[in-house]
Amino acid sequence: MQQLYLYILIASLTIASPGPGVLLTLTNTLNYNLRNAMAGIIGVAVGMGVISIIAASSVGVMITTSQLTLLIVKGIGAAYLIYLGVKLFRSVPRTLNQPLSSADSTMPSASQRFRQGVLVSLFNPKPIVFFMALFPQFIHPQQPFIPQFSVLSITFCILVVVIHSLYGLFAHSVKTKISSGNAFVKLNKTGGIVFVCFAVGLIVSAVHPYLPLSS
């Protein structure tokens, strides 16, 4: 039980650290509301669940040991983050007194927000390395693997939903104090730039092994 508490602590600190998933939750909440951002939050959690399965399989080993495969995954991830960043940078923010409507063409559907969350998780190779490094520390070889793995994976996904929801509540509280439409424009542009910065970080980490100075 103590090991589970330690795992929850490490996983919580990892999930709470700023990254593309957290940024997606914040921007969705600021542009719409927490209820509409939940689809993206669940998508991020589902994506993490898929990644945990990948990390526990031979596919995870292939991704982390093959520089070419890792380069491709990081390249796709960077391209998707740039797409999200440009889209957010150019988006027109919604003012507080403008009602939400499911028929509003400017608001992505729940399935679109869910898909964004899943893809943000899947195209980030860092969690694969994290799971491959963390899971063995909390799995007893004398006990069946699948039940232990299931508990760790499901716990991580639940923590993603809880912690991202807390981020959403924070963003919602900030949103209620912002009355200027110009402030929302600045927040969207800042969020878009941060998404692109995450993409640049992925690109740099992808090409670094191929640079002369890194050998």
Mean pLDDT, the chain, as a whole number? 82
User: What is the tens place of the pLDDT at every residue in 180-208?
Assistant: 557 767 777 888 898 899 888 878 877 87
**CA dihedral of 17, 22, 23, 27, whole degrees rounded to 10:** -140
Write the CB contacts of 175 (distance below 8 Å, at least 6 apart in sequence). 29, 30, 33, 96
Q: What is the pLDDT of residue 106?
A: 60
Q: What is the pLDDT of residue 43?
A: 96
pLDDT at 103 over 50: no
Instruction: Return the structure tokens found at 145.
Output: 């693997």
Helix, strand and coil content of the chain, in percent to the nearest 5, comes to 80, 0, 20
Q: What is the pLDDT of residue 213?
A: 57
Name the residue with higher pLDDT: 116 or 67.
116
The values of phi and psi at residue 185, to 5°, are: -60, -45
Decide: 74 and 203 in contact? Cβ < 8 Å.
yes
pLDDT at 96 over 80: no
Calpha distance 182→165 (Å, rounded)? 26
Name the residue with higher pLDDT: 7 or 104.
7
pLDDT at 39 over 90: yes
Tell me the mean pLDDT in the region 137-146. Answer: 84
Expressed as residue numbers, the domain containing 44 is 2-11+20-214
Return the residue matching tokens 């800042």.
190
Helices (H) and strands (E) in the chain, counts: 9, 0
Instruction: Return the structure tokens found at 103.
Output: 């028929």
Number of domains in the chain: 1
pLDDT at 7 over 70: yes
Q: Confidence class of residue 142 from pLDDT cuts 50, 70 and 90?
A: confident
Q: What is the pLDDT of residue 156?
A: 94
User: What is the tens place of the pLDDT at every residue in 49-89?
Assistant: 999 988 887 665 666 667 787 788 778 888 888 988 888 78
